[in-house]
Structure 1
Amino acid sequence: MTQRAGTQVLVSVGSNIERERHIVEGIAALKELDANCRSSRVFEAVPVGFEGPNFYNLVVELHTDLTLEGIVAALREIESRWGRERDAVKFRDRTLDIDLLTYGDRVQAEGPTLPRKDVYKFAFTLWPLAELCPEQVIPGDTQTYEQAWNAFSDEQPLWPVSDFSV
């Protein structure tokens, strides 16, 4: 893989309200930050932590010259554009949910936590990461995304959406 300019940023993108529309709009907005961003396949997953319609999820890799604070603000602005309320209940339906998973090789315990704990916790995050960046070592770890996915043992229903690509 060719090295690209800027800091590599990995984000998860999800929606369970008008899923296709919001995923497409979210990717279009991320392309405003990096026209050459690339993404995993789209996966369908049951909600974790609450009852509701299934989610569409994927992971997007982009490169940016924005600072950590700048990329966090940009991602929040995209979510807000599509109706995300910052003070809303954590486990609920979402038009568009974009979470910063990694910012380069940065590792930190707070403000935001990097890498985000979702990398290890949710199949809908780890499988797309393993697909998109299989040989990349997880920041602050010794294993690759593919190795982490192969060792993942939680049973969380998840499957690729064969008729939807971004």
Structure 2
Amino acid sequence: MHTACLSLGSNVDPERHIAIAFAALRERFGDIRASAAYRTPAVGFEGADFVNAAAVIDSDLDVLALNDWLHALEDAHGRDRSGPRFGDRTLDIDIVLFDDLVCSGPGNLRLPRGELRHAFVLRPLAEIAPGVVEPVSGRRLDELWAASAERGVAMHEVTLPVEAGATG
């Protein structure tokens, strides 16, 4: 079994899509650790605010198979990959950490994920997996969050639809 830390985001009907993603992760992987969901401004482009969250799962899939499974989940919920890399999206789920793996590729797969430096990824992960060690720096997620330059970024907690089983 492998442990994967995931970052989830959406800015198109975001509360519904994040709740659906949590439900799909539970259905496939069983018990998961799910963070609170936070509304944050879009990063890298002008667009609607995102709702971001994190999950930690135990997976029987290797990193490539998990990445493919997550892409299929995104696609099933209307993810459009034909536009610019940074843009509106129904669902975006990235593997941020996978065991202690450090890799680059194939495609956009990078571990640890560079977006870990952003509050919208780091804060929810640090809340649910504070003792997980980022393999390049050797620092725990709670230590990285405590030292984050983005610690003051406004992140407002939002409520996800209960019927999708979105609580962790």
TM-score by length of 2: 0.88
Distance, in Å, in 2 between the alignment partners of 1:52 and 1:87 is 17
Find the partner of 1:28 among 13, 17, 23: 23
Distance, in Å, in 2 between the alignment partners of 1:155 and 1:162 is 18
Structure 1 residues 141 and 43 mapped into 2: Cα distance closer, same or farther (>3 Å)? same
Distance, in Å, in 1 between the alignment partners of 2:151 and 2:62 is 36
Tell me the residue number matched to 1:152. 148
1:8 counterpart = 2:6: no
| Secondary structure at the counterpart of residue 153 of structure 1 | coil
Find the partner of 1:119 among 98, 102, 116: 116
Tell me the residue number matched to 2:163. none
Tell me the residue number matched to 2:70. 75
Amino acid at match of 2:116: V
Distance, in Å, in 2 between the alignment partners of 1:96 and 1:39 is 16
TM-score by length of 1: 0.89
CA contact (8 A) 1:43 1:158 kept: no
1:132 counterpart = 2:128: yes
If asked which structure has higher relative contact order (CA below 8 Å, sep 6+), I would say 2
Deviations 1:125-157 (A, max 9, x none): 011111111122112322111111111113773
**How many positions carry a matched residue from both structures?**
160
Q: Structure 2 regions of 5+ residues with no counterpart?
A: 161-165
Higher strand share goes to which structure? 2
Distance, in Å, in 2 between the alignment partners of 1:149 and 1:34 is 27
Q: Percent identity?
A: 33
1:59 counterpart = 2:54: yes
